[in-house]
């Protein structure tokens, strides 16, 4: 087994475009479109699981670890909703961008340039976010193992990724990268996409029990995302640490 989750080629790819993170019309535009549905979904499931009733700060006192946080697109809304947030990313450039943006907006988010296996902390988190990251890591088994280690018992882990289907190849690579030019060519490697069954099996071995799995579907006509039953391209899974 490898003892490293960092894929250097992937890190270099994202480091090159790190300054684009907060440009809603830049190279991360698809992620900016995607972000509202991710934030809403995460918030709703955390508040339901932990029975939180605080209206203005719905995630008050919840400790969140965002792994592969990029420029902080998820960390910031989580913090604004009251969560205590730590964001880690193996790209130093991404972390510099995230720190700068948080400081500019006076947000007390802790950012570290590291990977889950190298992250030195005694803390365990209520929630671990692995959003659009597992398809970019070196060793998914080891990555899930190390992510699980950082999660409290009965804590929630969110994993959003791409299914390994012909449809996902057509949509996420041919469509998004080559035809519509939404993403830089080479953003995704279809060989690294993960079938839900595979993700569930890996997670089960690491004390993570599936709570639910849903599809995320893009409507090209109105440029919005919605949660759906169709998991053939994008999907999101929620696991509970047993």
pLDDT tens figures, 78-118: 999 999 999 999 999 999 999 999 999 999 999 999 999 99
Residue 16: C-alpha distances to residues 139, 178, 218 (Å): 22, 19, 27
Neighbours of 164 (CB within 10 A): 16
> Does any domain span residue 1?
no
> Does any domain span residue 2?
no
> Does any domain span residue 122?
yes
Domain of 170 in residue numbering reads as: 8-150+157-241
Contact 140, 202 (CB under 8 A): yes
Contact 6, 68 (CB under 8 A): no
Identify the CATH number of the domain in which residue 52 sits: 3.40.50.150
The whole-chain average pLDDT of the chain stands at 95
Neighbours of 37 (CB within 10 A): 17
**Per-residue pLDDT, 1:** 46
Structure tokens at 193: 């996409």
**Per-residue pLDDT, 220:** 78
What global pTM score does this model have?
0.95
- Angle, in degrees to the nearest 10, between helices 8-16 and 92-104: 40
Question: Span 124-128, mean pLDDT?
Answer: 98
> Does any domain span residue 208?
yes
Structure tokens at 139: 């060793």
Instruction: Say which residue, 171 or 206, is predicted with more confidence.
Output: 206
Instruction: Say which residue, 194 or 179, is predicted with more confidence.
Output: 194
Task: Give the whole-angstrom CA distance, residue 136 versus residue 193.
Answer: 9
- Is the pLDDT confidence value at 200 over 60? yes
> Does any domain span residue 21?
yes
At residue 221 the predicted structure's pLDDT band, cuts being 50, 70 and 90, is confident
Please give the biggest Cα pair distance in the chain. Answer: 47
Indicate the number of domains in the chain. 1
> Does any domain span residue 109?
yes
At residue 2 the predicted structure's pLDDT band, cuts being 50, 70 and 90, is low
Helices and strands (H and E) in the chain: how many: 7, 8
CA 148 to chain centre: 14
> Does any domain span residue 74?
yes
Structure tokens at 110: 């802790």
Phi, psi of 16 (to 5 degrees): -60, -30
* Rg from Cα positions in the chain: 17
Report percent pLDDT > 90 for the chain.
86
Task: Give the whole-angstrom CA distance, residue 3 versus residue 70.
Answer: 22
**Per-residue pLDDT, 105:** 98
Q: What is the pLDDT of residues 156-188, one digit of tens each?
A: 999 999 999 999 999 889 988 788 788 888 889
202, HSE (Cβ side, Cα atoms, 13 Å): 19
> Does any domain span residue 227?
yes
**Per-residue pLDDT, 55:** 84
């Amino acid at each position: 087994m490898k003892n490293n989750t960092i894929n250097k080629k992937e890190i270099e790819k994202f480091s090159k475009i790190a300054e684009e993170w907060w440009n809603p019309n830049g190279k991360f535009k698809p992620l900016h479109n995607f972000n509202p549905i991710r934030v809403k979904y995460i918030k709703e499931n955390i508040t339901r699981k932990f029975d939180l009733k605080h209206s203005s700060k719905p995630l008050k006192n919840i400790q969140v670890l965002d792994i592969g946080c990029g420029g902080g697109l998820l960390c910031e809304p989580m913090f604004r909703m009251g969560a205590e947030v730590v964001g880690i990313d193996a790209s130093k450039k991404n972390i510099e961008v995230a720190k700068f943006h948080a400081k500019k907006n006076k947000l007390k988010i802790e950012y570290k340039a590291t990977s889950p296996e190298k992250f030195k902390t005694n803390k365990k988190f209520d929630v671990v976010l692995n959003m659009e990251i597992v398809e970019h890591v070196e060793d998914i088994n080891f990555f899930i193992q190390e992510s699980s280690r950082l999660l409290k018992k009965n804590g929630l882990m969110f994993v959003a990724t791409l299914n390994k289907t012909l449809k996902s190849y057509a949509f996420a690579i041919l469509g998004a990268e080559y035809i519509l030019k939404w993403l830089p060519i080479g953003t995704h490697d279809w060989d690294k996409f993960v079938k839900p069954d595979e993700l569930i099996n890996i997670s089960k071995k690491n004390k993570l029990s599936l709570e639910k799995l849903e599809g995320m579907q893009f409507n090209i006509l109105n440029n919005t995302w919605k949660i759906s039953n169709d998991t053939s391209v994008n999907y999101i899974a929620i696991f509970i640490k047993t």
